[in-house]
Structure formats: structure tokens, C-alpha cells
Chain A
Amino acid sequence: MKLLMVVAGNTFRETIRDKILYNLVLFAVLLIGASVLLGTLTIGEQARIVNDLGLAAINLVAVIIAIFVGIGLVTKEIERRTVYTILARPITRVQFVLGKYMGLGLIVMVNIAIMFVMFLGTIVLTGNAIHGSLFQAVELILVETLLVMAMALFFSTFSSSTLSATMTLGLFVIGHLTSDLKGIAEKSQSQLMEAALTALYYICPNLEMLNIKGQAASGLLVEFGYQATATAYGLLYAGLLLTGACVIFQRRDF
């Protein structure tokens, strides 16, 4: 556990010093600013628009960090050969992979927390009320981000940066369209197509399950049971991907 924390701490420090994170936070600030601007143009709907755009901005920035920093977690270490000196120490490959994941997880948490505080500040400044539903939405954004990070890490254990980014983005998009996949499968005339789409529906993560932004923006709370199930689902899926990443990384030659 100690070695895992050492790797996590180093990943956190190295990434936090990389200016890309500051740019992304700036991006969030601009988006939240835009939400305020748009909100003033729409009479009566300001609160919902501020909430909508704010949550969307946090989600987008967190996912971008998860994908683009996430794929670099392992591939950068391999391409730059820093992995040689680390794995030559008394550390297992599983500790290394989980340490990298934890380090980025910590960064994502800190970033989401900063963006959320900014977002809440924006709500207060525009004279609107802070609903509990916003906290629920942000918690599920965090779960989604941790899941996307696990996807990125999984793909990066066996492919290049570009391919990992493409596959992660692809799976992220499909993950938000799984209910459509099921609908298309049911309407499909071909049995083969139906089977393939149904299989895809069950294999791909259902990221829409983690999306309650619309409801939250209107100030409607989701049931605790749903929140807990969605969180458990997201974390379990991330856990499966991390297990896969560890198994593949364990067998790799460097």
C-alpha cells in the first residue's frame, strides 16, 4: 500500500505541474461565465440555464482530463522509458498501475471540487438557490470520470496513445447511447444484428445511468437508492476495467 501511495503521489505531483490542467480549469471558468451571460438573456429560466451549463462544463472538463491525461498515465511511462527504472524497484506491476490510477483519481477529485466550488459561487453571485440535486449530479460526474479514467488506462495498457484515445472516446460516446442500442436491436430485422447490438448493450458501460444533470438542473432530487445503485455500478465497472488493465500490464514485455 505504501508503494502504491508513493506512485500515486508522484503521479499527482507530476500531473499537477503540467499546465494542461490549468488550461482546463480556465476553460471551465469561461464556460461557467458563459452560463451567467446566457442566463441573463433568458428571463425566468436563469437558474436552470446556469445549473445546466455549469454541470455540463464540469462534466466535460473532468472527462477530457480523464481521457487525455488517463491515456498518458501508462503510455507516457512506456514511451519515455521511465517505467524501466520504476519496475526495476521492489514494486509489483499491479501496484504501479493502481498507483497511477489513484494519482490521477486524486487530481480529478481536486479539479472537480475546485470547479464545483466555482460553480456554486456562480450560483450565489447570480442570486439563485443551491439545490441538493447539484451535489448528487456532481457525485455521479465524479463516478463517470473515474470510470472513463479506467477505460483510458485499460486501453493504454495494450495500445498507443492515439489508439487509446480513439477507443476511449468511442466507448464514451457508445456508453451514452446504450439505450438507443437496445432500441435499435429490438427493431432490427436481422437476428445477427439484433444479437450483436444486444451484446454491445450489455458489454458497454451505461453512462447515461450516471447522467442526472437535466433533473439536477431543475432542482429535482433523485432517490437515494438510484444514486447508490448508479454509483456502485460505475465503480464496479471501473474495477473490472482496472482488473483487466492489471492482468494485461502484468503480461507485457518492455
Chain B
Amino acid sequence: MDAIVVKRLTKTYKPLWPWEKPATVLSDVSLSVREGEIFGFLGHNGAGKTTTMKILLGLLRATNGQVELLGSPAENVAVRARIGYLPESPYFYDYLTAEEFLCFYGKLAGLDRETIQKRIPQLLERVSLTEARHRQLRKFSKGMLQRIGLAQALIHDPELVILDEPMSGLDPIGRKEVRDLILGLRDQGKTVFFSTHIISDVEMICDRVGILSRGKMLALGRIEDLVDAHTARSVEVVCDGVVGDDLHDVKKLAVRILQRGERCLIILSGQDHLEKVLAALRQAGGRLVSVIPHKGSLEEIFLEQTSRKA
């Protein structure tokens, strides 16, 4: 079963004055997130990621389209007991301590006191905030707020976790901790839907991605499939004992040839002419060092897709 189903979602803001144009921030967006997977929602700032998430959680009303969470319509308030949510740059109640804060969100999720008391120390340890458990949130740094925000999203052990830019404001160690936490959630069978504009985060942990730009879904699928479909694989051939300028046949077939002393680097656009190039190198007396097929990256796809639309 799909944990999230979004069908032809559109959000248009009506203008304040009749002479102004309506602003469409989401246009015909469809996606599905499978149970137990990590789905990365990639897009520039202002692409419509947060708007989509807010519609999923009932904070915004869609102009058109259908949204289902864990088999229920998004308007169903009860289904939210099975969902955890962390907004972008979260800000919480200043005067609550970390423990009081988690207790409050636990109660809101309908947990009993005993379960809350059991979960709080576990979660505080998981987000490395055990020592700050009695500290008021107004004394927390941005990174600590982000981590306590993650803890509140997980206090009720939700099946689906929706995280809006969960790595923003974190230092490299903090980012790694969040990545590990997300991977840990998948290991427990949870579904994670998170947005980001940082491609490396997506590449490292996501099973599937969706690329959103200017309110439109440009690409959707497994990273490997997207890479295969959108980018040609180039090949790098490294050879010693030859001079690139002397290899007239190879020069015609290569995209680029670089010479570093005795070592020659030949870049081919694909594998089509690889055999011919290798034969030419052998004939010229070269010693083959390596042949590396170069795979395209998600970044290339992202830039290609978003710049095409722009």
C-alpha cells in the first residue's frame, strides 16, 4: 500500500484585488510514496515543497486534487495520530523545558502518561539532548531546536514521518545524525517523506525522489532510474606511455583528451567507441591503467530539469 497518494494537486491563491492575477503555486502535482521507503522531495526554495506538505497535513486547502495519507483522506483528523511532522525552521514554546514540551506533544497525540514517560528519555537520547532535558526551549540553539523538533515528530512512534527541510540549520555532525535517524526509521519499517534543496542528502539516503520546480513535478522515481534515463554515461580511459596529440584516430572519437606527463586521460561520450579506442591505444604501445564508466549524478538531472523549465 502507498503511504502517501497525491493526485493532480493544484493550489492557487486568489488575488486580494480583482485586477491582480491569481498565483498558482502548485500545478497538477501527482506522486505516491510507498510504505517503508524514504522519499526525497527535491526542489529550489519556493518550488512548492512546503505547500505540498501543508496540504498533506491539512494546514492548507488544495484548490484541486486528491490527497490520501495511510489510506485515509488528508482531511481525516484521526489519521494524524499516525503521522509525525517537523516544519521548516521550527519555533516552539519558549518557556517549556524539553521534557515538558515532549510531554505536551505526547498528550496531543493521545498517548497515556506512562507511555510518554517511557518515550521521553529514549527520544532525548536519540537526538542527543538528554543533558538539556530540564532546559527551557528559549535557551536552545537553532540546531537543538531542530533536534527537539524531530523528537516531537517521533514521540508517538508514527508510521509516516513528514519532515520539511530537516537538515537545515545543522552542522555536518548534526546532519549526519539526522541522516542516520532517518535511515533508522526506515529500518523500523516507517515511511519517511522529507523535503530538501540539498542534493547530497537525497542521494545518500533516499529510495526514491521527486523533483519539483515552480509548482510542477518534473521527475519522479528511483535515483538510479532517473540517472539512467536522463544522462548519458561517459567513460574515462587512463593510459600511460602515449601522447594524446599523436593519437589521431582517438582524437576523432573522444570528447576530450588531457595529457599529464606520460599519463593520458581520454574522455568518451559513451561506450560505443570504447573498443576502437582501446585497440588504437594498444597499437600505439600504450599501457592501459583504467577504464571508468562515469555515471551522471542527481545534481546534473536536477540542474538540467530545473534550468530547462526556467
Interface positions of A (Cβ within 8 A of B): 2-3, 6-7, 10, 13-14, 17-18, 80-82, 84-92, 253-254
User: B77: CB under 8 A from chain A?
Assistant: yes
B63 to A: closest C-beta gap in Å: 11
Among B104-112, B215-223, B224-232, the stretch that binds chain A is B104-112
A88-B83, A92-B77 are contacts. A81–B91 as well, Cβ < 8 Å? Answer: yes
Among B54-62, B118-126, B193-201, the stretch that binds chain A is B54-62
Contact partner, B95, options A14, A80, A81, A90, Cβ 8 Å: A14
Interface positions of B (Cβ within 8 A of A): 54, 57-61, 77-81, 83, 85-87, 89-96, 100, 104-105, 107-110, 149, 152-153
Query: B50: nearest residue on chain A (CB-CB)?
Result: A84
Pair A17/B95 contact, Cβ less than 8 Å:
yes
Contact partner, B93, options A14, A89, A90, A254, Cβ 8 Å: A14
Pair B59/A253 contact, Cβ less than 8 Å:
yes
Pair B109/A90 contact, Cβ less than 8 Å:
yes
- CB-CB < 8 A to B95: which residues of A? 13-14, 17-18
Pair B60/A254 contact, Cβ less than 8 Å:
yes
A10-B93, A14-B96, A253-B59 are contacts. A89–B87 as well, Cβ < 8 Å? Answer: no
* 14 sample A-B contacts, Cβ–Cβ < 8 Å, listed by A number: A3-B107, A10-B96, A10-B104, A14-B95, A18-B95, A84-B59, A84-B85, A85-B92, A87-B59, A88-B80, A89-B81, A90-B79, A90-B81, A253-B61
- CB-CB < 8 A to A81: which residues of B? 87, 89-91
- CB-CB < 8 A to B96: which residues of A? 10, 13-14
Contact partner, B54, options A6, A7, A80, A254, Cβ 8 Å: A254
- CB-CB < 8 A to A3: which residues of B? 107-108, 110
A5 to B: closest C-beta gap in Å: 9
A18-B95, A91-B77 are contacts. A86–B59 as well, Cβ < 8 Å? Answer: no
| Bound Cα distance from A86 to B92, whole angstroms | 10
Contacts between chains A and B (CB distance < 8 A), count: 75
- CB-CB < 8 A to A14: which residues of B? 93-96
If A3-B108, A81-B90 are given as contacts, then 20 extra A-B residue pairs at C-beta distance below 8 Å, sorted by A number, are A3-B107, A6-B104, A6-B108, A10-B93, A17-B95, A80-B91, A82-B93, A84-B87, A85-B92, A86-B108, A87-B57, A88-B57, A88-B80, A88-B83, A89-B81, A89-B105, A89-B108, A90-B110, A253-B61, A254-B54
B135 to A: closest C-beta gap in Å: 14
B61 to A: closest C-beta gap in Å: 6
Query: B149: nearest residue on chain A (CB-CB)?
Result: A85
Pair B81/A88 contact, Cβ less than 8 Å:
no
A14-B95, A82-B91 are contacts. A90–B78 as well, Cβ < 8 Å? Answer: yes
- CB-CB < 8 A to B57: which residues of A? 84, 87-88
- CB-CB < 8 A to B77: which residues of A? 90-92
| Bound Cα distance from A119 to B54, whole angstroms | 50
| Bound Cα distance from A220 to B161, whole angstroms | 63
A24 to B: closest C-beta gap in Å: 17
| Bound Cα distance from A134 to B107, whole angstroms | 40
- CB-CB < 8 A to B89: which residues of A? 81
Query: B164: nearest residue on chain A (CB-CB)?
Result: A84
| Bound Cα distance from A18 to B94, whole angstroms | 9
Pair A87/B58 contact, Cβ less than 8 Å:
yes
Query: B136: nearest residue on chain A (CB-CB)?
Result: A17
Pair A85/B87 contact, Cβ less than 8 Å:
yes
Pair B78/A88 contact, Cβ less than 8 Å:
no
Pair B80/A89 contact, Cβ less than 8 Å:
yes
| Bound Cα distance from A13 to B152, whole angstroms | 18
- CB-CB < 8 A to B86: which residues of A? 85
Pair A88/B61 contact, Cβ less than 8 Å:
no
- CB-CB < 8 A to B81: which residues of A? 89-90
Pair B85/A88 contact, Cβ less than 8 Å:
yes
Pair B60/A85 contact, Cβ less than 8 Å:
no
Query: A19: nearest residue on chain B (CB-CB)?
Result: B95
- CB-CB < 8 A to B85: which residues of A? 84-85, 88
B271 to A: closest C-beta gap in Å: 49
Pair A85/B93 contact, Cβ less than 8 Å:
no
The 9 closest A-B pairs by CB, nearest first: A17-B95, A88-B85, A89-B108, A90-B81, A254-B59, A84-B87, A6-B107, A88-B57, A90-B80
